[in-house]
Amino acid sequence: MTTKNDLIAQCKAENPTMISVINDEQIELTGADYEKACNDWAEMRLTQIKLENELKATQAVKEAAQAKLAALGLTADDLKALGL
Amino acid sequence: MAKQTFTTGQVLTAAQMTSLQQTAMGGGSTTAKTASYVLVAADAGTVVQMNSASPTTITVNTALFAAGDTVEIQNMGAGVCTVTAGTATVNTSSTLALKQYDAGTLYFNSTSATVFFAADAADGASPLTTKGDLFTFTTVDARLGVGANDTVLTADSAQATGLKWAAAASSSITFTTWTPTLTNITVGNGTQVARYGTSGKFVIAQYKLTFGSTTSFGGNIKITLPVAPAYGAFTAFGFTQDVGVASYYLVGETDATTTVSLNTLKADQTYLKDTGINSTTPFTYATNDLINIIFTYESV
């Protein structure tokens, strides 16, 4: 399972230097700004990964249910017809 | 003939009578001057005629003239001749600076106070000479020539008339940059464009953020405006783009200050409802995705 520290390390490995641009002016992030950028990105990625995993789990449950229906020779329309 | 006191039995000569007649008819003896001059008692009832190419003065002092005395001042020279209050007071409704061929009469109300009545009709007349001239005032009536095409009349205390012709204020908008304060956004290696322009109190501003690989969102996103709005809350519109996939409406909602919350629209039964954007709403943000919003409002 990916941890926040793993993601921070990944961010630093992929971005040994970090350039922010505002209105065509380039600003290199260093020190606390650099650390904050990596930290915040790691937190965001954790949130996104969690959501992605939840979606995958939901999709897996759905696909399993559809497989069971198919094994019984039923479809989702059959369930609707039954008022389910 | 200078003013004098006649005595009983005095016999006037023909020359004296002629001079008196001239004085009575507004003429009288003339004293020619070619340099600045201080009036003397003998000038009462006469004409003092200045003739100098350079500016000169005629000074009026007290205790020389009686109430009812008059002295006519004429300027024949190119230099302006200025009637100047010495120890006496000199009032006028016109100007005391006499141009060439200008004239007027000093009338003494007392030994120390006189009024200058300008004889030159031009003193009270319009100074206008040219199409478009304006009648203005400095310390005297003055002409302000028409300005260049499309200029507008502008108050300017540094000008003698207090007025000048100046280019009309441009109605075009010149854009400049601002650095917004961001809440729940860490730009990282992202790219921002934050520009705004004003025309009077009208403000138009654009904020655009293109995600870099380390740009991140926390909770609901807020940014600050370049200029405070005049009437508090207002709504701005834009879009946020999941590059190559889809674009979503972006709604900026201000609070009563300069802070704007960035929301998107979510289907909520019958109506669309705003909901804050974050790292997974309305999609999972990644490199090159963007948010772009335009603000138009009245500033304070």
- What ipTM was predicted for this assembly? 0.74
| pLDDT tens figures, B254-276 | 876 788 999 999 887 788 888 88
Summarised one tens digit per residue, pLDDT across range A9-29 is 999 999 999 999 999 999 999
pLDDT at B25: 65
Whether the CB of A8 is below 8 Å from some CB of chain B: the reply is no
Q: Is the residue at B3 inside a domain?
A: no
Closest residue in A to B180 (Cα–Cα) = A22
Of residues B234 and B214, the one with the higher pLDDT is B214
Same domain, yes or no: B256 and B290: yes
Confidence (pLDDT) at B174:
81
Q: Is residue B44 part of a domain?
A: yes
Domain boundaries, chain A: 4-81
Q: What is the CATH number of the domain that holds B24?
A: 2.60.120
Same-domain check for residues B184 and B280: yes
Task: Tell whether B207 lies on the interface with A, counting CB pairs under 8 A.
Answer: no
CATH number of the domain within which B278 lies: 2.60.40
- Minimal Cβ distance to A37: which of B177, B195, B214: B214
- Identify the band that residue B193 occupies on the pLDDT scale cut at 50, 70 and 90: very high
Q: Give me the long-range contacts of A21-25 (CB less than 8 A, separation at least 24).
A: A21/B190, A21/B191, A21/B192, A22/B177, A22/B179, A22/B187, A22/B191, A22/B192, A22/B193, A22/B194, A23/B177, A23/B179, A23/B192, A23/B193, A23/B194, A23/B195
Q: Which residues of A touch B189 (CB under 8 A)?
A: 15, 18-20, 29, 37
Quote the domain boundaries for residue B143.
Answer: 126-167
pTM: 0.54
